[in-house]
Amino acid sequence: MRKHNFSAGPSVLPVPVLEELRDNMVDYQGTGLSLIEVSHRGKDYDAVHQDALDRLRKELAVPESHKILLLAGGATLQFSMVPMNLLKPGGSADIVVSGSWAKKAIDDLKKLGTANVLYDGKENNYTDLPDPASITASDGASYLHITSNETIGGVQWKSFPRTGAVPMVADMSSDILSRPIDVSQFGLIYAGAQKNMGPAGVTVVIIRDDVLERCADLPAYLSYKIHADKDSLYNTPPVFAVYALDLVMKWVEAQGGVAGIENTNAKKAARVYGVVDANPEFYRCPVNPAVRSPMNVVFRLPSEELEKQFIAESVQEGMVGLKGHRSVGGIRASLYNALPLESAEALARFMEEFVRTNG
């Protein structure tokens, strides 16, 4: 029996994708070989690679003005690769510090250039975000960095700042493909696959052509230009992860695309936040309701003892991954794209029952 998987990352994958991976693991489509045993320059892998890029472009509605890259190194490599490529010599970048992931982005940025902090959520313990209209890019900034969804704090931008001539860069690791976005607003988007797109091992980077043109000349792997010129086949790509990502993209299409996915995500989030809001004496979500994330629902119970008991009992009910991040405690339910609606409903019923017996 499959568990209800609320893990924050790596996270739940669609069952049809896992089944197709299993069925083709030893003998890929009758070739007598596994796809992970053959050249990444052969026709079988190449077809998958191009299909993954095409499907990403279609489902994310990526305009022709932007290139899509499939890289390794996780979103974490992008914390340094973005400044290495985009910072002008001796330059600075704007950054919105919205939580744990933005802090990692700024740590790497500071090693390579100057960071202008436009907003820091420290005072509200990263439970809120600035009004996008209040964010203005600094004159001469090389780019402005935001984190579209903070996976640990559970806050999500509902609309984005307008940054004018300064390219906007977004870490979308934990909410890419969960809602339609206007890619043309961004100079660069990056996202590790392991939350909404597939297994760990591949990172998607979407970069606008004029930003790409400005990129610094760097050692090969660190250079967006080289990856773009070589269609992300400069070196051996993470072939298994790209194959799985391609299957996830087919699954996304079968769900009615990103719009269909968003619809289901909204139902899942409404169900879980609904129980929190219906029981304010017991459950408490610290996040400003206007910026609550539908991907990562964080909440507290009246005591740490009750939180421990909640997690222990949830495991007995076949639910895993509900323990909050070690840095913040509490409960975190990640409701990524591939989490079935039934899993969110099972959690909501469990939460209701838990208040009845312990409230």
Binding site for ligand PLP (CB under 6 A): 9, 74-76, 101, 147, 151, 171, 173-174, 192, 195
Give catalytic status of residue 246 as yes or no.
no
Position of minimal CB gap to ligand PLP: 74
Instruction: Work out how close the CB of 61 gets to ligand PLP at its nearest, in angstroms, rounded to a whole number.
Output: 21
3-state SS string over the chain?
A: CCCEECCCCCCCCCHHHHHHHHHHCCCHHHCCCCHHHCCCCCHHHHHHHHHHHHHHHHHCCCCCCEEEEEECCHHHHHHHHHHHHHCCCCCEEEEEECCHHHHHHHHHHHHHCEEEEEEEHHHHCCCCCCCHHHCCCCCCCCCEEEECEECCCCEECCCCCCCCCCCEEEECCCCCCCCCCCHHHCCEEEEECCCCCCCCCCEEEEEEHHHHHHCCCCCHHHCHHHHHHCCCCCCCCCHHHHHHHHHHHHHHHHCCHHHHHHHHHHHHHHHHHHHHHHCCCCCECCCCHHHECCCEEEEECCCHHHHHHHHHHHHHCCEECCECCCCCCCEEEECCCCCCHHHHHHHHHHHHHHHHHHC
User: 5 or 173, CB closer to ligand PLP?
Assistant: 173
User: 74 or 132, CB closer to ligand PLP?
Assistant: 74
Encoded tokens for 344 = 């969110």
User: 85 or 147, CB closer to ligand PLP?
Assistant: 147
What lies within 8 Å, CB to CB, of 333 at 6+ separation is 6, 272, 296, 297, 322, 344, 347
User: 294 or 348, CB closer to ligand PLP?
Assistant: 294
Residue type at position 276: V
Instruction: Work out how close the CB of 358 gets to ligand PLP at its nearest, in angstroms, rounded to a whole number.
Output: 31
Instruction: Work out how close the CB of 326 gets to ligand PLP at its nearest, in angstroms, rounded to a whole number.
Output: 14
Give catalytic status of residue 195 as yes or no.
yes
Considering the candidates 195, 225, 268, 323, report the single residue annotated as catalytic.
195
User: 76 or 185, CB closer to ligand PLP?
Assistant: 76
User: 73 or 340, CB closer to ligand PLP?
Assistant: 73
Instruction: Work out how close the CB of 146 gets to ligand PLP at its nearest, in angstroms, rounded to a whole number.
Output: 10
Give catalytic status of residue 157 as yes or no.
no
Burial of 309 (0-12, 13-18, 19+ CB in 10 A): middle
Q: What is d(CA 176, CA 324) in angstroms, rounded to the nearest whole number?
A: 21
Instruction: Work out how close the CB of 170 gets to ligand PLP at its nearest, in angstroms, rounded to a whole number.
Output: 10
Instruction: Work out how close the CB of 60 gets to ligand PLP at its nearest, in angstroms, rounded to a whole number.
Output: 17
Considering the candidates 94, 108, 128, 171, report the single residue annotated as catalytic.
171
Q: What is d(CA 210, CA 167) in angstroms, rounded to the nearest whole number?
A: 10
User: 38 or 112, CB closer to ligand PLP?
Assistant: 112
Encoded tokens for 216 = 């610094």
Considering the candidates 101, 108, 225, 268, report the single residue annotated as catalytic.
101
Instruction: Work out how close the CB of 143 gets to ligand PLP at its nearest, in angstroms, rounded to a whole number.
Output: 17
Known catalytic residues? 101, 171, 195
